[in-house]
Every structure is written in C-alpha cells, then in structure tokens.
Amino acid sequence: MSDVRIVYRKYGGALHWNHPGRLLGEDEHGVWALVPSGTLARKGEAPPVTWEVAAVILFPRDAWWTAAFYSQPHWSEIYVDVTTVPEWRDGEVTMLDLDLDVIRTQDGRLFVDDEDEFAEHQVSLGYPPELIAQAEVSARWLLDAVGERKGPFGGAHLEWLAMAS
C-alpha cells in the first residue's frame, strides 16, 4: 500500500478537509483508499480531529463525487460528497467540494445534506452556472444510485473495508 494525501478544497481554492490515506487498489468503480481509525484530519487550517473509525473512500475516474464507506460504529453507512472529478498528481488526490452530500445512515435513512450551504455558496463563492448544473445532476443521480444500491453502492466497498481490520 502506498500513501496518498487526500485534499478537498472549496471553489476558489480554499483548503477544506485534508488528511492522509493509503491506496488499496482499483476496480471498475475507481480508486479505493483507506483512512484508518486514528487518522488526524483537518478542516482547512482548523485544529486536527481524529477519525474514530476506519473508512474507505472511493475516487471514481470520471464522476463528480467521492464516497466514504464507514466501519462500525459510525452514524452513516455511506457519505457521498458532490465534488469536481478527482485529480491525481504527485501522491495527492484533489477535488473541489461542492457542498451537497448524499448520505445513507446505518438505519437506512437517505437524504441530501447541505442544500442551504450550496445555495449560499452559489452567491458568495460565485459558482458558474455549469458548475451548479453539474452538481445538481450528480446529486440527483447519487440519490437514486445510493437509494437503489446501484454500482459501487451495492456492497462493492465491503472487500475494501475488510482490509482495514
């Protein structure tokens, strides 16, 4: 396993969530990375926080999202960030976080989160119309795919998450 730096930024370039991970491998869904329990993560320049449980993150090759699949106990089963297409360079994967999140909780609830933040940032960060449209299309597709357990949301993460233990 090789190390990777996972860097989410906001539109305009401001640093958002960032932390180390370990590359696990690739499959038809994209590139999988492990974030072990105990990992220190930072939101921008804020003090670090410790991930209490392990997660695997899927970085699709050509899609506008990234997905974290959590080990137990964690309140969410799947947490999908709507983002720009992840870009790989020099041991780092970077993408712009576009606020919208599609979440499936452990008890099966499914919802889109941070729609208010998305609306606010359209104005305050000056999202261009094509970025707004793509984020909305991605969120709608993800809500269906996660809810219907299609593609990588139908259990593909289980073999990768097993590598965390």
Residue 29 pLDDT exceeds 80: yes
Mean pLDDT of 125-144: 97
For residue 86, which of 144, 163, 145, 23 has the smallest C-alpha distance? 23
Residue 158 pLDDT exceeds 90: yes
Residue 97 pLDDT exceeds 80: yes
Q: Residues with Cβ < 8 Å from 27, sequence gap 6 or more?
A: 156
pLDDT digits (tens, 9 = 90+) for 45-95: 999 999 999 999 999 999 999 999 999 888 899 999 999 999 999 999 999
Residue 1 pLDDT exceeds 70: no
Percent of the chain at pLDDT exceeding 90: 93
This prediction has a pTM of 0.95
pLDDT of residue 165: 62
Count CB-CB contacts under 10 A for residue 57.
Answer: 25
Distances (CA, A) of 64 to 9, 10, 132, 152: 14, 14, 12, 14
CA torsion sign, 126 to 130 to 131 to 134?
positive
pLDDT digits (tens, 9 = 90+) for 3-19: 999 999 999 999 999 99
Count CB-CB contacts under 10 A for residue 103.
Answer: 21
Question: Mean pLDDT over all residues of the chain?
Answer: 95
pLDDT digits (tens, 9 = 90+) for 112-122: 999 999 999 99
103 by DSSP, 3-state: which?
strand
51, burial (CB in 10 Å: exposed 0-12, middle 13-18, buried 19+):
middle
Mean pLDDT of 30-44: 96
pLDDT of residue 164: 76
